[in-house]
Structure 1
Amino acid sequence: MSALGRWIYGQPYLLLTVTAMMWGGNIVVGRFAVGKVPPVALAEYRWTGAFLIVLPFALQAIRRDWGRIVRHLPILVVLALSGITFYNALIYYGLESTEAINGALLQSVQPIMIALFALLLYGDRLNRFQIAGIAVSFVGVVLIVSAGNPVTLLELEINHGDAIIVGAIVIYGFYSALLKSRPPLHPMTFLAVVFFLGALLLTPAFLVEYASGARMENTAGAWFSVVYVALFPSLVANFCFNRGVELVGPNRAGPFFHLVPVFGSLAAIVFLGEEPAWYHGVGWALIASGIVVSQRMRAR
């Protein structure tokens, strides 16, 4: 690894920010893929593609870690099942019957879910700075998602897709906290094994969906969706997120989920021509401030 790569590998806040950027795109692309790629198929192609991309870079490390993989297979299966199989299939299925705005707002609850499971699994408690930081950044999320008028959120239609996304968020909270018990494997080994197991465990649901007649369109939009989710929200984001949690722990990593709507709104301004407004700036500032506050105890 180059000197720059080693430096980046030791910067948790940079890694977690990149993670949020990739996952912000995942919500938008997941909604874009509705009608083009069936939800379980999108998750299956995503993780199979990510596994095939990472495998050549991980082969040597896998050979060295093989004994550890076998010894720690049960927890690796649990991590793959929660963080890959269930979470992604549910997110894409939920996005078929709700709006991206609902998905972004619901995902802002993720830091609370992570904190809950960190408490249940390890007895880790949020300190006052983390609680204050999550609250401040959540206000920023609400401002951005509601376009500066939180009252409009009361008019959002709640449907079964939202309930499915909530279920996915609960499962990913468990996965994020459980990363604290991640086996001592090389990072590339861990990615390859979890991607492979996640895709393998998705296969029965994929076959059922395929047998029902659901098919991916052979269009540029469908292929773009598959390539994007396999490369960026999967390979890049998971590498960065896993390392970020390793460096600062799940509770301090959680507030970075609030950056997801920040990057979503920036993408809308840059690529979709949306006009920047006061609530963008205020929301971004609140989210950034909340994240800084939530890391306060680490600085002390």
Structure 2
Amino acid sequence: MPALLERMTGWVWSRPYLLLTFTALFWAGNSIAGRAARDVMPPVALAWWRWALAFLLLLPFAWPHLRRDFATLKTHWRWLLLLGALGIGTFNTLLYTGLQTTTAVNGLLLQSMRPALILMLGALVFGEYVRLPQVIGICLSITGALMIILGGDLSSLLELEFNSGDLVICVAVVVWSFYSVLLRKRPAVHPLSFLAATFVIGIVVIAPFYLAEIIDGRLIESSSESWMAIGYVCLFPSLIAYLFFNRGVELLGSAATGLYLNIMPVIGAMLAVFILSEPFRWFHLVGMSLIGAGIFSASRIARQSVEQSIPAAR
């Protein structure tokens, strides 16, 4: 039985698209939970407890690997600090903050800008060559995001009237894209060691903001909704999804992984409509179509590299 379980685990661990499908589902649920709990759970509190509890769940499994990898982690502490601060400490805090004042549908669809932004940042940070179809894709994706932010009303752009929640989520998406691109600099350690180390960094980064939130009188409301939200986000989108995502980047690279994860906003938008009864309007469809067209254009070259890499990954 243990041998069968080990073979099954190894099979799943070598299937990047299966891992990333679950990642997309769990992260879509993260936005749903953040929006649903906005009245009972302050955003920074949700972010801090998410990572604190996820770390406690992870620690017994990660501890042997942390002890073995400690020297390597210490050597690469600067990259760990940056990755933990971006991907753990900043992104989700901004996401939950944005979801206080915008809908889950908006938040999820805006996150579909990530593949185009990852391509753009890969060119800026690492000097990767960006071809014309990718430039067109980036422009289409940004146009689609603007359509969603403006609610289809172009006069809002001229009058500089924006939903603050949408803008906060846009910043969060840029932060996440930096995290995805910089993941290639992660130290060569066990995935659990890396995950535990970045969790600790994220917890420390969030702590001062959580303290300020408490001092400001924004406290967690003791209710079933609060504990259900914390329970979900600390296990599925934190512990499991980050482990799967990091493995996906390891097998496919950041651009291809970001491309595939664009199924997440589609899954999440459907969940928001059915679970939260949020409206899905015409400008959502137009924005999603533009973003989808941008991803199709930008991914033509990425798809070729993915197709070449899959046999090796299997």
Which bracket does the TM-score occupy, shorter chain normalised?
Answer: 0.7 to 0.9
* Structure 1 pair 44–58 and aligned structure 2 pair: CA distance change class (3 A): same
Q: Which residue of 1 aligns with 2:303?
A: 295
C-alpha separation in 1, matches of 2:274 and 2:90: 33
* Structure 1 pair 125–9 and aligned structure 2 pair: CA distance change class (3 A): farther
Tell me the CA shift for residue 130 of structure 1: 6.6
What aligned pairs does 1:2-41 form with structure 2 within 5 A after superposition?
A: 2-41=6-45
Is 1:43 equivalent to 2:43 in the alignment?
no
* Superposed CA offset, 1:102-144 (max 9, x none): 21121111112211221122222456787788899x69x99xx
Comparing 262-271 and 110-119, the one that deviates more: 262-271
Q: Which residue of 2 aligns with 1:84?
A: 88
Comparing 263-272 and 246-255, the one that deviates more: 263-272
C-alpha separation in 2, matches of 1:268 and 1:298: 31
TM-score, normalised with respect to structure 2: 0.80
* Structure 1 pair 220–14 and aligned structure 2 pair: CA distance change class (3 A): same
Partner of 1:2: helix, strand, or coil?
helix
How many pairs were matched up? 286
Q: Which runs of 5+ in 1 are unaligned?
A: none
* Structure 1 pair 132–21 and aligned structure 2 pair: CA distance change class (3 A): farther
- Counterpart of 2:117 (choices 96, 99, 113) is 113
What aligned pairs does 1:1-300 form with structure 2 within 5 A after superposition?
A: 2-126=6-130, 153-154=152-153, 158-267=162-271, 290=296, 294-300=302-308
Q: Is the contact made by 2:104 and 2:269 (CA closer than 8 Å) also made in structure 1?
A: no
Instruction: Return structure 1 stretches of 4+ with deviation > 6 angstroms.
Output: 128-136
Tell me the CA shift for residue 254 of structure 1: 1.3
Tell me the CA shift for residue 262 of structure 1: 2.4
* Structure 1 pair 268–127 and aligned structure 2 pair: CA distance change class (3 A): same
* Structure 1 pair 245–117 and aligned structure 2 pair: CA distance change class (3 A): same
* Structure 1 pair 269–204 and aligned structure 2 pair: CA distance change class (3 A): closer
Identity %, equivalent residues? 38
C-alpha separation in 1, matches of 2:277 and 2:102: 23
Q: Which runs of 5+ in 2 are unaligned?
A: 279-284, 309-314
* Superposed CA offset, 1:196-217 (max 9, x none): 1101111111111111111001
C-alpha separation in 1, matches of 2:66 and 2:81: 16
Tell me the CA shift for residue 64 of structure 1: 0.6
